[in-house]
Amino acid sequence: MSNLFEERNIEDVYDSSGDHTRIKNLISKFKQKFGEEPGFLVRAPGRVNLIGEHVDYCGFPVLPIAIQQDVVIAGRADPSDRVLTVSSSNDSFQEYSCNIRDVQVTEVKWYSYVLAGYLGIAQRINSLPPGLQLMVDGTVPMSAGLSSSSALVCASALMSALFLKEETLKREAMAEICAKAERYVGTEGGGMDQAISFLGVKGKAQLINFNPVRCETVSLPDSVTFVVANCMVNKWKADGTDFNNRVAECRLAANVIATELGLDWNHIKKLQPLMVATNMTPMELLESVEEHLHPGAYTKDEIMGILGVDDSTFASIIGKSSNEVFRLYDRAVHVAGEASRVAEFRRICDENPADIQGLGRLIDESHLSLKDKYNVSIEELDNLTQICRDAGALGSRLVGAGFGGCTISMVPKEIANEFITQVWEAYYKPLNISFEEATSKHLFVSSPCAGACVLKVPS
């Protein structure tokens, strides 16, 4: 894996001439706005998680790939060294500017994620980055479950680290900095999105473990490809509490099971540490969930009674959740089952990559669990995954936080073009979306690409 801060030629990073033109246009717009060309260009890719949804914040491994769609930021030092300006190559996005000592995230806007990356580096280094003039360009579909928000955070942090000359920071450290930084905008994620954005490997998936972040490269079967399809219903992770509610329910599930097992719940914050503390496998954890949690909803009073806590302590446990009732059993069943599916998916890739039917089955099982146990699917996602299966996908599921966004389908390579045509005809054509628009923005093959890097500014 290359040095994060080593400048790379645009031609070595992008295969498409369209991306080369895009970067040149960004530089031109930057010069038009700020009067000079940028001093630095950085990129951070979005991601597709092949398997392991909603388990990273429980401490379990995930298996994503970085994708070609990315965020690129052009930047130079502010002449006064006192002002941070964040603009977009797309004029429809609101600009942000303020004194660097006044930078804070007070509301969720598109530029809030850029501010989060800037503040994350400032917190880690205990020093404000200098004033910067930034212009952002992105090709990751927004609110689609492909991590456009985290790509913004990662690109911003990388740019800020460059100007602070903190070039000793490793990719793993940057991923952890950015995972914490995204909480400035109210998202209590687990770190997958930031890790794969920095640690992606071209042509490979990455099995990402946490605490600390570490990766194992996984080769995927040569006979399949992965196709992303957007259901056209957008959902921001931070525009409500659905995502944070699931985080709180999983935390409470770990606390309750720990208490039932006679452990100190104060030391068990997540389901994966619970599994480790009790020497369980994911399947044994699932058995423990069946034994120690009851189906249906738990009330606040019921959980407080089990844990022996007061209102204040309970509020500190659930964090940003606004739930009144908590479905601990269903959430924990999904997490334990999904953790087992990740392990099995990786085993098949390593030991029997010809078993593409087995991989497809795991992907389908993941979607069913996300739908029935985690309750994060919607009708459009369910319809789209079924259309993808009918068109020849070996497996199809929602990807990302859910409640809208994209699906990922595993498709035999030899039928990929026919598959895309059939999905367009069945899903996008009735929405009056042309084939050209669909395949350029909403329906595309997703090939694993390399992680974040510094781009050499063309002379």
Which residues are part of the catalytic machinery? 193
Residues in Cβ contact with 256 at an 8 Å cutoff, skipping those fewer than 6 apart: 265, 292, 293, 298, 303, 306, 307, 328
Cα 428–Cα 16–Cα 2 angle in degrees, nearest 5: 115
Q: 407: helix, coil or strand? A: strand
Instruction: Answer whether 155's CB lies under 8 Å from 244's CB.
Output: no
Contact 308, 273 (CB under 8 A): no
C-alpha angle 365-342-185 in degrees, rounded to nearest 5: 95
Q: Are 198 and 175 in contact (CB under 8 A)?
A: yes
Alpha-carbon Rg for the chain, nearest whole angstrom, is 22
- CA-nearest of 454, 458, 457 to 155 is 454
User: Torsion-angle region of residue 201: left (phi > 0), alpha (psi -120 to 50) or beta?
Assistant: beta
